[in-house]
Structure 1
Amino acid sequence: MKDSEKEIISTLKYVSHMKPEFRLSEIKNYITCDMSVEQIYSTIRPFLYELGIDASPEGEDFRIKLAPSATAMELTEEEIKKSELFFMSAVVSAKLQTIIEQYISKKTAKKWDDPLVLDRIRKAVVGQKNAYWKEGSSRKISYEKGYNVLGYLAYQFPVYFVQFQHMLYGMAQAGILKTRMRILDVGTGPGTVPLAIADFYKRLEGRKADIYSVELYDENIEAFNSIVPQYVSDPITLHEPIRSDVREIKPEILPENIDLMVFSNVLNEIKDITTEQKADMVLKLAQRLASDGSILVIEPADRANSVELRRLSIALRGAGLGIYAPCSFIWGAGCSLEECWSFEQKQDITPTLLMRKLAECDEPYRYVNTDIKYSYFIVRKDSLTKECYKVPPRARFARFSKMGTHKDKRINVVCSLMSSDLGDEKYSLYKLCDGTSRKAVYAVLPWHNVTEDNSLIKRAKYGEVLEIYNVLVNYNKEKDAFNLLLSKGSTVSRIGEERDD
């Protein structure tokens, strides 16, 4: 920090302790350097969050006052309405699409939609997809070349951008976000998570976020510095990315009291590292987490990454962190399922103009990516869980660990819904979990058996705890799994709801 910056920050601290509210121009009388109000504001802006100070424009000046203490974020009706409208036809905003297109033009020294540029981006997209599906040591996903980053911005970015906003919205509704947030994005790439946060906060009023990020590749950092600052607005304080390998981050270089730590689609890309080593890495960084902060890990929904994600969450639980969501241990027992493939699914996004341009070729399906499917977990240092329900003593529900003893019988169960509909037009299929499973358990609802009493399963949210009555237990030998068949006499209800016996 320059001497002039130190003087301004020191003066700001002094005046803010003397006056609860004042205009920024007033501190010009206390400093020796000759600077305009705008120049002073540019100097102090990166430090406002840390200082606990808010600055709001007031003509050609700024009104300075001490910030209120952080409280749990409660969305207003208007904020909920704006978010719901966005998700109904989610798309990367026109402004952000233009910023990305301009970056491509700057990076390639050609128009972003030049046929040669588009063809090279297509090759980068195909190369990344091929590398992604490889296994073992041959699987290497890298962003060391410029066109790799452009391929990511064209193909993966739009989905991940909207996907993360779904997570933010859910966490805000659950009450685990704050009115003032310090956020760390580990493996930020070209800034997908900060951009998603900025977009989400544009629909909120009076909320603040202080964003730090970590990234290894120079090409990603270059893209970040060219794109993100242009899109992030005043409610958010953005810090330049910390250049580091995720595996080698030293906790002491990170800020303290982080409210939200994010690993978005990054841990699966680290090769030659075990689940236990990943857990150790997350635990090391968790030293900087606030006592009531959350760690969010998101991965793609394919079987391999989803299963690995669940194993990581269990490893972190064994190391002392509590799982907030989506898993619920309603019987108070630890999960023993070896392979849990569970994911969330949301409405498709609208493709960007860049994506549509890439699709103007002989194989358009290769370059259109609009599906939102992802696996995630949230862990915390405290014991808070999204679903607090515990099965009461002597409750008349069968544990999933005992399914083998109930084969071909009708039973009642209480469990979490762990997928959207995985079936087809004739049969709806849902993954279920009660925290005791030794084999996968699914609910099967034939279309001709749908009734008002059992149709809730088609509307319930991912991770929600349900009571399911009068289902027939079938064993699927081919899949080594149990199916719970819902008939017209079956009922589905939320825990605690009254039902007619």
Structure 2
Amino acid sequence: MNQDTRQQIRDNAQYLRNVRPLDPEELHEYVEGQPHPAVVRRVLREEAFDLGIIEQDDGTFVPAPEGRLSVTFDGVDRFPDRYEQEVMDLLTEWGGLEWYDGESGDELRERIRDIKERYLQGQAVEYDELTALGYAVYHLPDYYAVAKYVLADLAADGLLPTQLRVLDVGAGVGGPALALRDLLPDDALLDYHAVEPSAAADVLEHLLQDSGQNVRWEIHRTLAEEFEPTGADAAEYDLIVFGNVLSELDDAAATLYRYVEALADDGTLLALAPADRNTAIQLRTVEREVADGGPATVYGPTVRLWPHQSPDSESWSFDRKPDIEVPTMQRRLDDAGGGTGEFVNTDVQFAYSVLRTDGRRTHDVTPDRGIHAPMADAENYVTDRVNFLGVKLSHDLAEREGANPLYLLGDGSQQVDHFAVLTEASILNEDLRKADYGDLLSFENALVLWNDDEEAYNVVVDGETVVDRAR
């Protein structure tokens, strides 16, 4: 098929799309040479996003819905069976029906150990076929859950359009891709692009094969630093995802800075990182370089409440969701290796940053200095009782049973970490415990003390303190 035929199909589809459903059986008659209807259907599928059309069950095409994406989501209990089976099909091709046992099982377990050790040591990981399979077994289920939670929140906040163009940088074996695909309703339109140079792209390609008729996808097998997201022919993206990849980039801030420029005017950049101390803190460091000194602003969760203020605290902040069920493939691999739990990974804990270029924030609130004290000035009111606004940036961090509940707070101005310590629970301050990660809280009459041991400020919440969710 030549380019002229493709253009004629596009032109006719563009003309008729708002008149009646596009039927390839009819449309082919309007094209010079009358290409087979199957050819017309293929072109319509390939051009669906640019034409703004979706395919219906009867094979016709109609205009895709416009507006913001609405999704149904009630948490993640388990990694979907169909994806797990596809991963196990790849494992069977590699190591036979009992891939988890014998020499193949030992080899896979040793590779996963090596991946984890290199990660803890901050060393580079060589991505070959075995490493990609190790990631798929050990990391894909929880990466899927993490991405689905955050993407569902973005949709609930109205940040994602129904016609969605996505760039997934460092896509790996497919956590964000699969989560996004499962969240989308049938009448949504997805143009998905992955940037993944390693053997993980082979796993991703396998998992994306049956993506549905209204999903167009492409894998760019190149480094994030070498891919060109902007340029004369480049599209603008509604969503750009950096999923657990910042720690692998030579200059994460510079790379992120470059990709921010590829966002649509109302686009969103989502950066995810594991919850461990090093990667979570690195995420905040990169966030500050790109948002406080660059082209983006922080939508959440670490909102800058005070104008022209930037945080400089350590901010080891991460969210936590309920564990998922143990995937069968992890259970088999672990049981064959002694059943110690070493190869089971069901925790759903993650740090994340949501950046935009339009100044929009999840909490569109500016504190009043006549009422609220900025955390940046904590040194001036230590030992005093004050009122302030703060975002809850952790779950309970108390390490000992029976210890006072402890929560990280931030208002975007803090130069040192602030921790709310609940010393006396009451109905007046119960919102501190009940609030979700990322919720904005109003503190009235809180006592601020300096903690020498932790080199941080303690915000003491006692019987005299009122804590409410701020609106």
Partner of 1:228: 208
Matches within 5 A, 1:53-92: 53-58=53-58, 62-68=59-65, 70-75=66-71, 79=72, 83-84=73-74, 87=75, 90-92=77-79
Q: Does 1:356 align with 2:331?
A: yes
AA at the equivalent of 1:141: V
Q: Does structure 1 residue 32 correspond to structure 2 residue 19?
A: no
Residue 295 (structure 2) aligns with: 320
Q: Which residue in the other structure is 2:12 paired with?
A: 14
Give the aligned partner of residue 103 of structure 1. 90
| Distance verdict in 2 for CA 1:112–1:16, change over 3 Å | farther
Distance in 1 between residues matched to 2:16 and 2:393, nearest whole Å = 54
2:238 — aligned with what?
259
Q: What SS does the corresponding residue of 1:466 show, helix, strand or coil?
A: strand
Q: TM-score, normalised by structure 1?
A: 0.87
Tell me: CA distance 1:16–1:337, structure 2 relative to 1, closer, same or farther (3 Å).
closer
Q: 2:362 aligned to 386, 390, 395, which one?
A: 386
Task: Find the counterpart in structure 2 of residue 499 from structure 1.
Answer: none
Matching residue within 161, 177, 186 for 1:194: 177
Residue 288 (structure 1) aligned to one of 262, 269, 281: 262
Q: Distance in 1 between matches of 2:311 and 2:201?
A: 41
Kindly provide the amino acid, as one letter, of the partner of residue 409 in structure 1.
D
Q: Post-superposition shift, 1:393?
A: 4.3
Tell me whether 420-429 or 39-48 shows the greater mean CA deviation.
39-48
Task: Quote how far apart the aligned CAs of 1:108 are.
Answer: 3.3
Provide the rounded CA distance (Å) in 1 between the counterparts of 2:378 and 2:32.
75
Deviation at 1:325?
1.0
Compare 104-113 and 363-372 and name the one that shifted more: 104-113
Q: Is the 8 A contact 2:229 2:262 kept in 1?
A: yes
Q: CA deviation at 1:110?
A: 4.6
CA contact under 8 A between 2:118 and 2:124: conserved in structure 1? Answer: yes
Q: What CA distance in whole angstroms lies between the structure 2 residues aligned with 1:104 and 1:66?
A: 41
In 2, Cα distance between equivalents of 1:152 and 1:354 = 12
Contact 2:64/2:187 (<8 A) preserved? no
Aligned residue for 2:103, secondary structure, equals: helix
Deviation (angstroms), 1:355:
0.9
Deviates more, 1:323-332 or 1:28-37: 28-37
Does residue 1:183 correspond to 2:162, yes or no? no
Aligned to 2:119: 132
The 8 Å contact of residues 69 and 162 in structure 2, kept in 1 or not, is answered as: yes
Residues in 1 aligned to 2:64 and 2:311: alpha-carbon distance in whole angstroms: 47
SS at match of 2:388: strand
Q: Match of 1:400? A: 375
Structure 1 CA distance for aligned equivalents of residues 263 and 362 of structure 2: 19
Is 1:142 the counterpart of 2:126? The answer is yes
Deviation digits for residues 200-236 of structure 1, max 9, x if unmatched?
Answer: 22xx35222110111111x222222222213x22332
CA RMSD of aligned residues (A): 2.1
Contact 1:103 1:227 in 2 (8 A): no
Which of 265, 269, 276 aligns to 2:248? It is: 269
1:252 Cα deviation after fit? 4.6
- Kept after mapping to 1: 8 A contact 2:49/2:191: yes
Q: Which residue of 2 aligns with 1:211?
A: 192
Q: 1:412 aligns with which of 387, 405, 413?
A: 387
Query: What residue identity is the alignment partner of 1:323?
Result: V
8 Å contact kept, 1:333–1:435: no
**Separation in structure 2 between the aligned mates of residue 46 and residue 119 of structure 1, nearest angstrom:** 43
Structure 2: how far apart are the matches of 1:299 and 1:41?
Answer: 40
Which of residues 353, 357, 376 in structure 2 aligns to 1:377? 353
User: Are the structure 2 counterparts of residues 321 and 410 from structure 1 closer, same or farther at C-alpha, using a change threshold of 3 Å?
Assistant: same
**Alpha-carbon offset, residue 33 of structure 1:** 6.7
Q: Distance in 2 between matches of 1:227 and 1:287?
A: 29
Alignment partner of 1:49 is 2:49: yes
Preserved contact between residue 64 and residue 163 of structure 2 (Cα < 8 Å): no
TM-score by length of 2: 0.92
- Structure 2 gaps of 5+ residues are none
Structure 2 counterpart of 1:339? 314
Conserved 8 A contact 1:11-1:31: no
Alpha-carbon distance between aligned partners in 1 of 2:435 and 2:248, rounded to the nearest angstrom: 32
Q: CA deviation at 1:47?
A: 2.0
C-alpha distance 243-428 of structure 1, shift in aligned 2 (>3 A): same
CA contact (8 A) 2:247 2:279 kept: yes
Q: Is the 8 A contact 1:56 1:64 kept in 2?
A: yes
Distance 1:267 1:411 in 2: 38
Which structure 2 residues correspond to residues 417-456 of structure 1 after superposition, within 5 A? 417-423=392-398, 424-426=400-402, 427-446=404-423, 449-456=424-431
Instruction: Give the length in aligned residue pairs.
Output: 463
User: In the aligned structure 2, how far is the partner of 1:130 from the partner of 1:194?
Assistant: 26
